[in-house]
Structure 1
């Protein structure tokens, strides 16, 4: 019996690429907004890697995003007039069309919460912007570490006072699911084949025998209901 579903957010629940590009286009009309958004996102994992590897203490994602914004602006040769305002673009990401209805259906079946590398503050503001109906906010901030470190998944389970096998990790990224399954969580894959744009070449399909492989969140809710019996 799955009692809780925890979700990757960036890419799985929300369309970061189009949403951030929209904000960049408003603030920096002289640059290729989508290229800037992709370059900004490309700094995400390297910035977290230093923390995961112990070379730096935990830093909330907003601060990493701001540091990464400065790096990308230098590469593009532009000055950002209000860095904090543009950095808040990550709090205004549009949900994929199936997400809100799917989450509401899933909420009737189990606890639902983000297990994101975003901070509690970022996830709360993003939920308010997009209408994401979480029961609570879990993830990196409570673990003081970043996925795919096992502590992040386990801290989320512990916060709910649930054994890992009572919790299902939902993600559009196979590496997220491999890490969650390695510490005992159930897994569900939902593809987002346009997350990185029309040329996306990874995470187009399930790369393992996940407990659920669903077409979208509405399909996920049907499959979870069937799993619950």
Structure 2
């Protein structure tokens, strides 16, 4: 384990690490599906929508498309998924409202209390691919106590593009080891480590549902490996 005395700020992946996107999107989609596709499982719909997430961001990461915020990509992906399932003639206001499902996600049970503990000692902020308004809406709804909103819209790039991490270090006025990325995704941590950031893996083995196959465990010797954020707070000397 790395000596944590040099860490001054913690930044967090949000979708999957802080909030349970799958359950939240399925919950928000259920009434929509009851009207338009009553035979379609809401979790299957949520999974299909999420599968469009990374490919749509790769268009931006590759330079094939200029940066647009995640709300725009999510809406385009939603239209694609509706078309895939044969759900047609949905009024635009209904599509817009369903797209806001991502703004109304619930945190994992340990998240809020642990973040409040960590905030007493460290600067804490999201380092998410979600845009600023998206992050603010989630935080205000459930009480995430961020000190700042950082991530893709600030850097105008999507993780794991290097500039997302390097610009965050610069914005906070820190040396890379003084900034710790906390994430449930090994690829996110690997990109951060290449830029010299401290890394913390938190296990979220049901992010993708009961049959998850990826990110079930730490796949490298990250600086911290924990089962939940309360354990991370304890290791960093922030537990109540």
Give me the TM-score of the superposition, normalised by structure 1: 0.97
Write the distance in 1 (CA, Å) between the matches of 2:202 and 2:137: 24
1:142 shift after superposition: 1.0
Structure 1 segment 40-189 matched on structure 2, within 5 A: 40-79=49-88, 80-81=90-91, 82-189=94-201
1:174-196 CA distance string (max 9 Å, x none): 00000000001000000100000
Deviating beyond 3 angstroms after TM superposition, the runs of 4 or more aligned structure 1 residues are none
Write the distance in 1 (CA, Å) between the matches of 2:130 and 2:144: 14
SS at match of 2:237: helix
Paired position in structure 1 for 2:3: none
Structure 1 portions without partners, runs of 5+: none
Report if aligned partners of 1:188, 1:211 keep a CA contact under 8 Å in 2.
Answer: yes
1:211 shift after superposition: 0.4
Structure 2 portions without partners, runs of 5+: 1-5
Paired position in structure 2 for 1:35: 44
Write the distance in 2 (CA, Å) between the matches of 1:112 and 1:208: 24
Q: Aligned residues, how many?
A: 226
SS at match of 2:50: helix
Paired position in structure 1 for 2:18: 13
1:24 shift after superposition: 0.7
SS at match of 2:236: helix
